[in-house]
Structure 1
């Protein structure tokens, strides 16, 4: 999340003092104008929702002690002047990647789902590829960049795409191919380390999970819960397909990039690329296709009704980008956009 001034709404470089190391409190990230929160592993959506809200409150309390606020926006509506956290790795990144790193003040939402082995994990990665752009469209929450409307629903996706390893990946087939690809990328000298494998979805370095990384951070906590429910169901669906011997869809990476660009541009306000037909359809139709695809897994996991209800609420109120624009259209004030998002971050 971003750290912002309560009056002006501008970002403030206070991460060092806001992140005091207290259990359950926020942690530092690349830039001094942002902090990160996480949850411990959960098995139910209710448990996850409670943790998300508790961690947001803890971050807000820590920020409040330093006379600033936290806000779950994927980019700042106002102009920003990022400053890198003074940690060796981050400083190396700032030097090596120049403006790509120095301008990288964006906030995403990552979801980890446990898998039983690398074989299952790679099988999942290969099978969820066409569906990830729909998740980006549903979570699009970054229409403003440097004080201007970018014209995109998720401009964060455009900024994030500057990293050399970001975006969709090819089919891997086996863990051997996956790990050899990762090692070859590191051996090229372009990446500092494995932590810079920024695929839209990857095997986690530290946990027995697949990590889906394509989404913008969600201002409304319920939208983050919905994201987690859909991701878990996607992973379970893909694992079942693998166990049944069903091959992954042979979608070319170029088309996945088109789908992600479309989701970044339109969010839920226009068309998305259908994950099966790869043709443009109204966003609601693409969302319905995703729900249909994962409904058996949602049902078995006990998440069907919650996922359907949360989706209906999201479609009713619109994605985060459209809500930000509505506030700006009503007020003509980007600071008001931030203030509204600060309230929604804790209340939503």
Structure 2
């Protein structure tokens, strides 16, 4: 698991450009890294099998990031965009400077925080079989994780405005069918060879093969406000990967749905999340969001049961649906206080709970 966290002023809620300084206070072995902007830190967990272990690691990583941030007078908040107005500050690396020059305002405004789930696969070919078979099921993950309703101190009307900002990158979003690892590599090489992307690290698909690990990396989710919701997303992603791998091994063909429809499904999830309609991952027609969530759970139920995760995921999912997404909690805080700084203050507490 990788989580990107905002560094914020604990009183005013403003993002603070202190990531390099905060890392100097990190303890040896704490898996913290800088990101594109100096107002954010990335945490990483170790590989694990049990969701309980993962949950403990996520909380430990958030606490480690908080300790490092506090050493600079800042705090961490698991917010996918900043509720408070901000002009981001680029992390001063050669690569990030090249990105800033190449992508102009898209890079300059890109202060967004996502949640990335890595799941091991047995081979690159299996990984492509998985990518081709999970495409339709990714938008519901965005709906469940939606945690970015505010942008530059205003309510955007979106549950995940991060998604709207993120897809400005030229390679971001859903993908078509690859069919084989060879074809996947040819697509990646053609994209890098176009000169539009600086390097392979800028392959920002909603789900991709990791460059560094033998994993499928699912990247569509907002960073979740609560650690429990991160565990839920991880459990669902692992079950989706296992379900797709079983289908691939059995020779079941992937859904040939066009990428254009997948882009619409992600937009719909970004706009309204669990309120109103989502596109059903099988029919691709609009249905109430709760039906899509039930369909997702039914689709992965055998894999969840086989991993011993079914009860945990059902419990976490029920809790999220009862209390609302991160976007719901942020808006509730704003309705209560009419103050975006208080939204951030509440988020700091939720991040570490």
CA shift at 1:26, angstroms?
2.2
Q: 2: distance between equivalents of 1:65 and 1:168? A: 39
- Secondary structure of the residue that 1:177 maps to in structure 2? helix
Correspondences of 1:309-328 after superposition (within 5 Å): 309-328=315-334
SS in 2 for 1:3: strand
Indicate whether 1:14 and 2:18 are aligned.
yes
**Which one of 161, 170, 175 corresponds to residue 167 of structure 2?**
161
Q: Summarize deviations over 1:151-171 as a string: whole Å, max 9, x none.
A: 100000000000000000110
Deviation of the 1:6 alpha carbon: 1.1
Structure 1: 5+ residue stretches without partners: none
Does 2:305 correspond to 1:270?
Answer: no
Instruction: Provide the residue aligned with 2:143 in structure 1.
Output: 137
Paired with 1:25 and 1:130, the residues of 2 have a C-alpha distance of 32
Distance 2:46 2:285 in 1: 38
1:77–1:148 Cα contact (<8 Å) kept: yes
Instruction: Tell me, yes or no, if structure 1 residue 215 matches structure 2 residue 225.
Output: no
User: Structure 1-normalised TM-score?
Assistant: 0.99
Normalising by structure 2, what TM-score? 0.98
**1:180 equivalent among 182, 186, 194:** 186
State which of 30, 36, 39 in structure 2 corresponds to 1:30: 36
How far residue 127 of structure 1 moved from its aligned partner, in angstroms, is 0.1
Provide the C-alpha distance between the structure 2 equivalents of 1:300 and 1:258, rounded to a whole number of angstroms: 32
> Any residues of structure 2 matched to 1:1-348 within 5 Å, and which?
1-20=5-24, 22-347=28-353
Contact 2:147/2:325 (<8 A) preserved:
yes
How many residue pairs match? The answer is: 347
**Hey, what's the Cα distance between the residues in 2 that align with 1:284 and 1:223?**
17
- Over the residues paired in the alignment, what is the CA RMSD in angstroms? 0.7
- Determine helix, strand or coil for the equivalent of 1:19: helix
Q: Report the alpha carbon displacement of residue 25 of structure 1 after superposing the two structures with TM.
A: 4.5
Q: Output one character per residue of 1:289-325: Cα deviation in whole Å (capped at 9) or x when no partner.
A: 0000000000000000000010000000011111100
Cα pair 1:157 1:264 within 8 Å, conserved: yes
Helix, strand or coil at the partner of 1:74: coil
**Cα distance in 2 between the residues matched to 1:285 and 1:38:** 33
8 A Cα contact 2:31 2:45, kept in partner:
no
C-alpha distance in 2, partners of 1:18/1:284? 41
CA–CA distance in 2 between the matches of 1:232 and 1:279?
25
Residue deviations 1:227-256 (CA, integer Å, cap 9, x gap) = 000000000000000111100001100000
CA distance in 1, matches of 2:143, 2:23: 31
* 8 Å CA contact retained: 2:6, 2:113: yes
SS in 2 for 1:73: coil
Structure 2: segments with no counterpart, 5+ residues:
none
